[in-house]
C-alpha cells in the first residue's frame, strides 16, 4: 500500500525504506507470529465459545506473568533491527523483573516500539490505518468485498463497527469509516452499495486478455469523505482519495483463508499473466497506474 500522508513523525515511525530494506533478512518466526492466522483466530474462536478465560487461566496457573503483553509480537519500527531492539527494551518489562520508568518510557517512544499484527480481523486493506495517521490519498490493493466493509450498509447507520463471520464461524470486525458527499448515494440506498456500483461500472481493466482462473485486475479512483470513528481516531468530513487496485483469485477459485490452497499457484500464475499482458500495451488501466506511482 502506498499513501500520501499530510504529516508524519518520521523520527518515531521511521521512513518507508525501513519497512522494505533488507526485509528478507527478518526472522521468519517473528514475521509469521505477527500474522492474525497465528493467534488471532485462536483467540477469536475461543472467545466465541466462551473459553478464552479458561485459556488465560491455564497460562496464569503456569505462572506466566503479563499475559496480555506476551501475546503481541513487538517491533521497534524506527530501528534497523526492529525485533531484536524491541526485545531488548520490552523483555525486562513484561518479564516482571523491571519497572517502567521515565527512561524506559522514553526508550519505547523514541524507538517506535509497537505491537504488530496484520489487519485480518479489522482492516484487511490497511486503508483505515493509513487514514487514521493522516493519509489523504491512499493507493491500495483491495478486493471489492473488503473495500465494501469500509462503508455503511444502510442509510443513517450510526454504528462505529459491525461484526461478521468469516467462513461462517470466525467473528471479524468491520469499521465503516467512509461516506460520500452525495447522501442519496446515486440512488443505490447505501454507501456500501454505491461503492460497489462505482467499482463495477467505473473501474477499468489493466490487462487486455481474459483470465480463466482469476479475476482481471481493475483500477479506479473513488472520492470519499471520512465518517467519525472513535476506534481508529478518525474525524469526520475529511476528503480522501482512494486509488484502488482490485482483482485476485477469491471470486473465481475460492482460494484463500479457510479454503483449499491446492490451486492457488494456478491463480497466482494467471495474475502474473494479466500483469505481463498489460506491460505490452498502453491501456487506460496502465496509464492510470502510471499516474499513481509516477505522477
Q: Mean of the pLDDT values across residues 57-79?
A: 73
CB under 8 Å to 288, separation ≥6 — which residues?
204, 219, 220, 221
Of 37-46, 103-112, 128-137, where does mean pLDDT reach its minimum? 37-46
Q: Is residue 57's pLDDT more than 80?
A: no
- pLDDT at residue 178, rounded to an integer: 96
Computed over every residue of the chain, the mean pLDDT equals 77
Sign of CA dihedral 210, 211, 214, 219: negative
Q: Read off the pLDDT of each residue in 139-152 and give the average, rounded to a whole number.
A: 89
- Which pLDDT band, with edges at 50, 70 and 90, does 258 fall under? low
- Nearest-angstrom CA–CA distance, 101 and 237: 40
Per-residue model confidence as pLDDT tens digits over 222-249: 999 999 998 888 999 999 999 999 876 6
Helix and strand totals (H; E) in the chain: 14, 10
Domain boundaries, the chain: 8-116, 127-293
Amino acid at each position: 500500500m502506498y499513501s500520501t500522508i499530510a504529516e508524519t513523525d518520521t523520527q518515531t515511525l521511521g521512513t518507508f525504506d525501513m519497512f522494505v530494506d533488507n526485509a528478507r533478512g527478518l526472522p521468519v518466526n517473528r514475521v509469521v507470529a505477527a500474522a492474525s492466522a497465528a493467534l488471532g483466530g485462536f483467540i477469536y474462536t475461543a472467545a466465541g465459545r466462551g473459553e478464552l478465560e479458561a485459556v488465560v487461566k491455564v497460562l496464569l496457573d503456569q505462572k506466566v506473568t503479563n499475559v496480555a503483553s506476551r501475546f503481541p509480537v513487538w517491533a521497534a519500527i524506527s530501528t534497523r533491527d526492529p525485533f531484536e531492539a524491541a526485545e531488548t527494551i520490552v523483555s525486562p518489562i513484561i518479564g516482571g523483573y523491571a519497572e517502567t520508568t521515565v527512561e524506559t518510557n522514553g526508550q519505547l517512544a523514541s524507538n517506535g516500539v509497537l505491537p504488530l499484527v496484520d489487519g485480518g480481523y479489522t482492516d484487511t486493506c490497511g486503508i483505515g490505518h493509513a487514514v487514521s495517521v493522516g493519509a489523504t490519498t491512499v493507493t491500495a490493493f483491495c478486493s471489492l468485498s473488503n473495500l465494501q466493509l469500509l462503508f455503511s450498509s444502510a442509510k443513517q447507520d450510526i454504528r462505529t463497527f459491525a461484526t461478521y463471520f468469516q467462513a461462517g464461524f470466525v467473528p471479524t470486525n468491520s469499521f465503516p469509516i467512509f461516506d460520500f458527499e452525495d447522501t442519496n448515494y446515486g440512488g443505490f440506498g447505501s454507501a456500501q452499495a454505491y461503492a460497489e456500483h462505482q467499482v463495477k461500472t467505473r473501474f477499468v481493466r489493466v490487462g487486455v486478455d481474459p483470465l480463466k482462473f482469476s479475476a482481471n485486475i481493475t483500477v479506479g479512483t473513488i472520492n470519499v469523505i471520512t465518517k467519525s470513528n472513535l476506534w481508529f481516531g478518525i474525524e469526520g468530513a475529511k476528503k480522501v482519495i482512494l486509488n484502488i487496485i482490485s482483482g485476485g483469485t477469491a471470486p473465481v477459485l475460492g482460494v484463500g483463508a479457510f479454503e483449499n490452497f491446492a490451486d492457488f499457484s494456478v491463480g497466482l500464475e494467471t495474475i502474473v499473466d494479466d500483469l505481463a499482458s498489460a506491460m505490452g500495451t498502453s491501456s487506460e488501466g496502465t496509464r492510470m497506474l502510471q499516474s499513481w506511482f509516477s505522477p
